[in-house]
Amino acid sequence: MRTPRSVSLSRRGVLAAGGAVGIGALLAACGGNGASGGSTGGGGGGPWSFTDDRAQKVTLPDRPHRIVAFTGTAAALHDFGVDDQIVGVFGPTTLANGRPDPQAGDLDVKKVTVIGNGYNQFNVEKYAGLSPDLLVTNMYEPGALWYVPDDSKDKITKLAKTVALTASRKPLDQIIARYGEFAASLGADLKAKKVTDAKARFERAAARLRKAAAAHRVKVLACSGSADLFYASNPGISADLLYFKSLGVDLIVPDHVDKGGYFEGLSWENADKYRADVLLLDNRTATLQPKDLAAKPSWNELPAVKAGQITPWSSEPRFSYAGAAPLMEQLAQAIERAKKVT
């Protein structure tokens, strides 16, 4: 499951930009053909092009240097060394206390303009004012631009070219490699020590998780909690779960998933349908955490909960080696410490 529980569960994330006064003038000012809006070249030494995961070839006169991206996408690109080009972000960026949202990773959120901190918050006027060369985001469903509102999509895509990178239905390591390929096209040095060190840590974490899964045969359920439903996630769709399963993690596969294939929604009375030794619990700010779930009797009766075998799950992972390695280390540790309780 990907969308906050307060909105539709559709992967397209129906959003509303709302109140965009004077958009026509802004479109004209920024160049309605998706050009760079008068900004200087990115120093790429000639025309730049990239074929994204919609099989669309995106071309610009030179390397883009004014990029606006989904927050998690921007954070992953930052990990690969793309930094100064990112001028704006949209999606979960800051928490209510002003601290960075976990999806922001190591991105310095004070250095970028936030044009929307959640669903229905994409500010088209603010986006246009950044004179973007390129918009980059994830793609969970074919052709769907993650966190780009359908209601204003046509206006947004006229302001700058767009790149969409697949975020599901392929294993995590493949998607990270694809992010690296895109970052390299933007000028990132994939042989930089920061990147190679992160990749080495990722590989060590994968080896540790494989070893833990082989030595401790415990059943793991990736799940998420809301006020009304308990969601059992399908490891055949999510990139991270696909990869964990390929490493040998015994992830439970729900048998009645939703139309999109991501999860099965269970009433709280049926939360014990899948008996797990370890719960990999969605830790996004829009979902209920153990302290919130403690008020639900059926939660407290789950064997993994009784045993205290709950570990956080970043269900929208950062697609970089630096972002993914800690997730595998955390899961490996949870499996190493877990006991069979089912």
Per-residue tens of pLDDT for the chain, all 342 residues: 444 333 333 333 322 222 223 333 333 333 333 333 322 333 446 899 999 999 999 999 999 999 999 999 999 999 999 999 999 999 999 999 999 999 999 999 999 999 999 888 999 999 999 999 999 999 999 999 999 999 999 999 999 999 999 999 999 999 999 999 999 999 999 999 999 999 999 999 999 999 999 999 999 999 999 999 999 999 999 999 999 999 999 999 999 999 889 999 999 999 999 999 999 999 988 899 999 999 999 999 999 999 999 999 999 999 999 999 999 999 999 999 999 999
Which pLDDT belongs to residue 46? 87
Structure tokens that stand for 105 in this block: 């990773």
* Among 32, 44, 301, 12, residue whose Cα is nearest residue 164: 12
Q: How far apart are CA 52 and CA 38, in angstroms?
A: 24
Structure tokens that stand for 251 in this block: 């992830």
Angle value at C-alpha 321, between 204 and 311, nearest 5 degrees: 70
Which pLDDT belongs to residue 144? 94
Q: Report the DSSP beta bridge partners of residue 342.
A: none
Contact 214, 248 (CB under 8 A): yes
The per-residue b/e assignment along 111-128, b for 16 or more CB within 10 angstroms, e otherwise, is ebbbbbbbbebbbbbbbb
HSE-CB at 236 with a 13 A cutoff on CA atoms is 11
DSSP 110: G
Q: How far apart are CA 52 and CA 34, in angstroms?
A: 16
Contact 118, 91 (CB under 8 A): yes
Contact 201, 208 (CB under 8 A): no
Angle, helices 71-79 vs 193-215, to 10°: value is 110
Helical segments of 247-318, H only: 290-293, 297-300, 303-306
Q: How far apart are CA 281 and CA 287, in angstroms?
A: 9
| Mode of pairing for the β-strands spanning 57-60 and 48-51 | antiparallel
DSSP 248: T
